[in-house]
A and B are shown apart, each in its own frame.
Chain A
Amino acid sequence: MTGRVGLVAAVVAVLALAALPMVAEKFYVQLVTKILIMAIFAMSLDLLIGYTGLVSFGHAAFYGIAGYALALLSPQYEAASVWTSLPLAIGAAALAALVIGLFVLRTSGIYFIMVTLAFAQMAYFVFHDTKLAGGSDGIYIYVRPVAEIFGWKPFDLENFGHLYYVVLALAVGVFVLLRVVLASLFGRVIAGIRVNEHRMRSLGYPTFRYKLAAFVFAGALAGLAGWLSAVQFGVVNPDFLAWHLSGSVMMMVILGGMGTLVGPAIGAAAMMLAELWLQGLTKHWQLLMGGFIVLVALLLPRGLLGLLTTRGGPTDSTRG
């Protein structure tokens, strides 16, 4: 993000998104809310796949755990508080990422992909098979969390417009936060780990700890997306942790262009809009979606953003 033009472009984009609720119907505002939540989810995974080189196929686990945390913290017919449930949900996701990370980061390559998938599946079964959280039917959140502090309500999440703005603000916030973190020393170390972990270790960096930190941070951000999703839909069920979701968000990252942050956000929008459009075309839209994904894998190594830019970001010249 260099230069004033880049900044102006970003501000214009955000302003355009901010104007949406004033021109569009409720259905579409809710749709874009959903897209923005997915964008947060995708950006969190990009931190792992695009910047640290960790291909996690189980990212939905952290998304789902945070969603369930909100559901479990919400009293049955009353509202939870945003200020307690959000940090707790993110904390739960981060804790899960820490525990799982301690296991999966012992492996790499193909193994890493498979074990992240398998651990997410294990978490899925905890929620699906046990009485802990409503089993396969999930839990309903009948009242959305309230944001009251000392009697003052800055926003009401039951109002779909307020929810949209909260999500938009968080999405922009996550983007900025990630940019800052990635520009720091931490960001450069994990970039180095992605390129050549042995070299980083021989330079004296405790690579396991850095990878774990990235894994936990990404898990926490995925948790934020999960909490928001649970708020928007009012229901959490085991499919929040399904491997299909892990696969979907991975596609969004790669489709958009990994290692760029903006790419995955675009990928999220592209995939969800494509899904909506294709669903309207034919009952068998997944056929077209699948074919599209195969083509992207074969022909677009740097995703959609790679189409638009001449030379990419951190992925440039580091992939053979």
Chain B
Amino acid sequence: MDLGTFFVQLLNSVQYGLLLFLVASGLTLIFGIMGVINIAHGSFYMIGAYLAWSLSGAVGNFWLALVVGVALSVALGLVLEWLLINKLYDRDHLYQVLLTYGLILVFEELRAVIWGNDVHAVPVPALLKASIPLTENLSYPVYRLFISAVCLALAGLMYWVIQKTRLGMMIRAGASNREMVQSLGINIGFVYRVVFAVGVALAAFAGMIAAPVSSVFPGMGGQVLIICFVVVVIGGVGSVKGALVAAILIGLIDTFGKVIEVQIGGFSVLPELSGMSVYLLMAVVLLWRPQGIFGKRL
């Protein structure tokens, strides 16, 4: 692999990883702060993608569609938390899994009812349609650079909110000791609702900006969910920093695993088994640190 190709594959890896991070960060925040395992999280990603498709078709403008889509997702998150999720806080993880699994079925079918089961393309917004020539043969689509940039910006924003604002302080405190925070007069229910809605919005937003490069199809929620779980396990439950590191690692392994060739004793390991590579990484991390890279001791 020459240097130019290596660099481009690096770009590909980082872009994929950052997108994953955006989705996984919502999942890990909800785990870490509210102790709720939400396996319907992938569905929000799918909902975001379908929203991007239908809204940009209806509104005609991708950017406007993004704004409306995020607003709708936040609303969805608030309603869901108020109706269902807040009943799960003290329940066994098993019931959280059961309820959110039911939600997956509901969301998938609602999607089929509202938007159908077909595969759709979302056009790249005109502003970002260009490609930058990188090597003699290859150009890199500007839109993918945009995705990476947006994800990084959001990561920075998340860091700032959680570490440097009052809201962030309340969130961090609520994660460690809910009763204490409540007894100090802070409305922890409100904090939880906001966190959940933000988590939903992050996943949906990721789906929206990913739509032009991934297409919009029914199975996309399930696909992203599993990888998100791996990100969270590797990074450590509740750690946004861990999610970022893990997501980039996974992006690298997944992308390079698809193109480099590795043979062990005549048996082709890569790219044959590239689909497994991410899980092998997880297995290794589990052996070394079962709580994940930045997770708290189990």
Which of B11-19, B71-79, B89-97, B159-167 binds A? B89-97
Across the interface, do A107 and B232 meet the contact criterion of CB distance under 8 Å? no
Chain A neighbourhood of B92, CB < 8 A: 319
Across the interface, do A57 and B93 meet the contact criterion of CB distance under 8 Å? no
Question: Which residues, 184 to 240 on B, are CB-close (under 8 Å) to A?
Answer: 222, 226, 229-230, 232-233, 237
Q: A284-B113, A287-B109, A287-B113 are in contact. Are A122 and B279 (CB under 8 A)?
A: yes
Question: Which residues, 256 to 277 on B, are CB-close (under 8 Å) to A?
Answer: 272-276
B81: min CB distance to chain A, Å: 14
Q: Does A5 have its Cβ within 8 Å of any Cβ on chain B? A: no
Across the interface, do B298 and A111 meet the contact criterion of CB distance under 8 Å? yes
Select which of A118, A286, A295 is within 8 A of B233 by beta carbon.
Answer: A118
User: What is the size category of the interface that chain B forms with chain A?
Assistant: 35 or more
Question: Which residues, 261 to 286 on A, are CB-close (under 8 Å) to B?
Answer: 284-286
Determine the main DSSP class of A at the interface with B. Answer: helix
Chain A neighbourhood of B94, CB < 8 A: 49, 55, 254
User: What is the size category of the interface that chain A forms with chain B?
Assistant: 35 or more
Q: A113-B97, A115-B233, A287-B113 are in contact. Are A292 and B102 (CB under 8 A)?
A: yes
Q: A109-B93, A292-B102, A297-B98 are in contact. Are A129 and B273 (CB under 8 A)?
A: yes
Interface centre among B87, B106, B107 (most CB of A within 10 A): B106
Chain A neighbourhood of B275, CB < 8 A: 125, 128-129
Select which of A57, A126, A297 is within 8 A of B273 by beta carbon.
Answer: A126
Which of B48-56, B58-66, B143-151, B283-291 binds A? B283-291
Chain B neighbourhood of A319, CB < 8 A: 92
Q: Does B105 have its Cβ within 8 Å of any Cβ on chain A? A: yes
B288: min CB distance to chain A, Å: 10
- Of all chain A residues, the one with the shortest Cβ separation from B87 is A298
- Of all chain B residues, the one with the shortest Cβ separation from A285 is B109
Q: Does B101 have its Cβ within 8 Å of any Cβ on chain A? A: yes
Across the interface, do B233 and A111 meet the contact criterion of CB distance under 8 Å? yes
Across the interface, do B98 and A119 meet the contact criterion of CB distance under 8 Å? no
Q: Does A153 have its Cβ within 8 Å of any Cβ on chain B? A: no
Chain A neighbourhood of B110, CB < 8 A: 287
Q: Does B84 have its Cβ within 8 Å of any Cβ on chain A? A: yes
Q: Does A247 have its Cβ within 8 Å of any Cβ on chain B? A: yes
Across the interface, do A293 and B286 meet the contact criterion of CB distance under 8 Å? no
What's the Cα separation between A284 and B110 when bound, in Å? 8
- Of all chain B residues, the one with the shortest Cβ separation from A290 is B105
Question: Which residues, 113 to 139 on A, are CB-close (under 8 Å) to B?
Answer: 113-115, 117-119, 121-122, 125-126, 128-131
What's the Cα separation between A250 and B98 when bound, in Å? 8
What's the Cα separation between A250 and B145 when bound, in Å? 41
Q: Does B282 have its Cβ within 8 Å of any Cβ on chain A? A: yes
What's the Cα separation between A301 and B87 when bound, in Å? 13
Q: Does B104 have its Cβ within 8 Å of any Cβ on chain A? A: yes
Chain B neighbourhood of A286, CB < 8 A: 105-106, 108-109, 112
Q: Does B67 have its Cβ within 8 Å of any Cβ on chain A? A: no
Q: A113-B97, A114-B229, A125-B276 are in contact. Are A107 and B102 (CB under 8 A)?
A: no
Q: A284-B109, A291-B102 are in contact. Are A121 and B279 (CB under 8 A)?
A: yes
- Of all chain B residues, the one with the shortest Cβ separation from A117 is B229
Select which of B95, B109, B286 is within 8 A of A290 by beta carbon.
Answer: B109
- Of all chain B residues, the one with the shortest Cβ separation from A122 is B279
Q: A106-B290, A107-B286, A290-B104 are in contact. Are A251 and B229 (CB under 8 A)?
A: no
What's the Cα separation between A139 and B187 when bound, in Å? 57
Q: Does A174 have its Cβ within 8 Å of any Cβ on chain B? A: no
Q: A110-B31, A111-B233, A114-B232 are in contact. Are A293 and B98 (CB under 8 A)?
A: yes
B106: min CB distance to chain A, Å: 4
Q: Does A243 have its Cβ within 8 Å of any Cβ on chain B? A: yes
Q: Does B280 have its Cβ within 8 Å of any Cβ on chain A? A: yes
Chain B neighbourhood of A291, CB < 8 A: 102, 106
Chain B neighbourhood of A155, CB < 8 A: none
Question: Which residues, 160 to 206 on A, are CB-close (under 8 Å) to B?
Answer: none
Chain B neighbourhood of A296, CB < 8 A: 98, 102
A276: min CB distance to chain B, Å: 16
What's the Cα separation between A286 and B103 when bound, in Å? 10
B264: min CB distance to chain A, Å: 14
Chain B neighbourhood of A243, CB < 8 A: 222, 226
The 3 A-B residue pairs whose C-beta atoms are closest, nearest first, are A290-B105, A293-B102, A122-B279
Jot down 10 A-B pairs with beta carbons below 8 A, ordered by A. Answer: A55-B94, A57-B97, A104-B286, A106-B287, A125-B276, A126-B276, A254-B95, A295-B102, A296-B102, A298-B99
Not counting A129-B273, A293-B105, A294-B103, a sample of 13 additional A-B residue pairs whose C-beta atoms are within 8 angstroms of each other reads: A104-B286, A118-B230, A118-B282, A121-B279, A126-B276, A131-B272, A286-B106, A289-B105, A290-B106, A290-B109, A293-B102, A297-B98, A298-B84
What is the interface of chain B, defined by CB distance below 8 A to chain A?
31, 37, 84, 87, 92-95, 97-99, 101-110, 112-113, 222, 226, 229-230, 232-233, 237, 272-276, 279-280, 282-283, 286-287, 290-291, 298
